[in-house]
Amino acid sequence: MSASDITKNPFASTNSLDTNPFEDPFADQTSQYSHDATAARQAELTQRELDLERRERELNNKAENIRKHGRNNWPPFFPLIFHSIADEIPEASRPLVTRLYQLWLVLFGTLIINMVACIFILTSGANDGGKDLGASIGYIFVIGALSFLLWYRPIYNGYMKEQALYYYIYFFFAGWHLVFSIYMIIGIPSTGSAGLIRTIQMYTRPAIVAAILGTIATVGWTIQGLGFAFYYRQIWAHHNAAGHSVEKAKTELASHGAKAYFTRG
């Protein structure tokens, strides 16, 4: 045994006297965890406040729109009617009505592209280019508005109210729209259509920009025409399955009159 071992205090602590022996060794970790939880909670509360403010703004905007226009919400830039497939169409029929609305949007977009194509047909020096342009501009306003009012809106109301009268209105005007679609696909010169014949003429001229736009317009007419024919058959089958008849349509017209077209009840 050495002299150092004899003089060493057996009760001496190896820990510093400045350290609290009763201190929780995990206190720092607990404090950090508490701080992180508080920060996360604060972030969540902040996000909720932002969501509430956004919802409040949306409700205020809707309230202001209703104050100005009633419940009307379509078209968005100048509301004239109320249009909401989610609110007014039965759930089972919503996909079909949504597709019909999308087809109408394709139609309207095709009318615009057709008009632009006719501008380039005119600038290419084609015969009767001025007639094509004039007619194509008229189609945007006439066909765009009448197609919405005479076949889309009736079938929208038909599925909403399930009344025979709306189905017969749809079938009549939708039939004429199918004929018009075929007419526009053909693209006879001087008719306002940049369809197939006009597009081929632009490729052989050549007037490439007019030809490309004519191709897009022809594809647009074809897509909306085929889609329209497909859903026309589906609606016809639904109409028959629902038991609608001309007599029922006459009774509805006598009971409700033309005002039923404009009401949602």
Domain count, the chain: 2
> Residue 56 and residue 34: Cα distance in Å, rounded?
33
Q: What is the mean pLDDT of the chain?
A: 85
Residue 113 domain boundaries: 93-262
Most confident of 35-39, 115-119, 241-245, 260-264: 115-119
Q: Give the model's confidence band at 30: pLDDT under 50 very low, under 70 low, under 90 confident, else very high.
A: low
Residue 67 has pLDDT above 80, yes or no: no
Looking at the structure, tell me whether residues 64 and 102 fall in a common domain: no
pLDDT of residue 171: 96
Residue 41 has pLDDT above 90, yes or no: no
Domain membership flag for residue 204: yes
User: Which residues have CB under 8 Å from 82's CB, separation 6+?
Assistant: 70, 71, 72, 73, 74, 88, 264
Model pTM score: 0.72
Higher pLDDT residue, 72 or 217? 217
> Residue 78 and residue 80: Cα distance in Å, rounded?
6
Residue 240 has pLDDT above 70, yes or no: yes
Phi, psi of 192 (to 5 degrees): 90, 10
Residue 179 has pLDDT above 70, yes or no: yes
Domain membership flag for residue 87: no
Looking at the structure, tell me whether residues 43 and 108 fall in a common domain: no
Looking at the structure, tell me whether residues 187 and 148 fall in a common domain: yes
Domain membership flag for residue 253: yes
- Gyration radius from the chain CA atoms: 35
Looking at the structure, tell me whether residues 197 and 240 fall in a common domain: yes
Domain membership flag for residue 205: yes
Looking at the structure, tell me whether residues 236 and 108 fall in a common domain: yes
Average pLDDT for 43-63: 78
Residue 264 has pLDDT above 60, yes or no: no
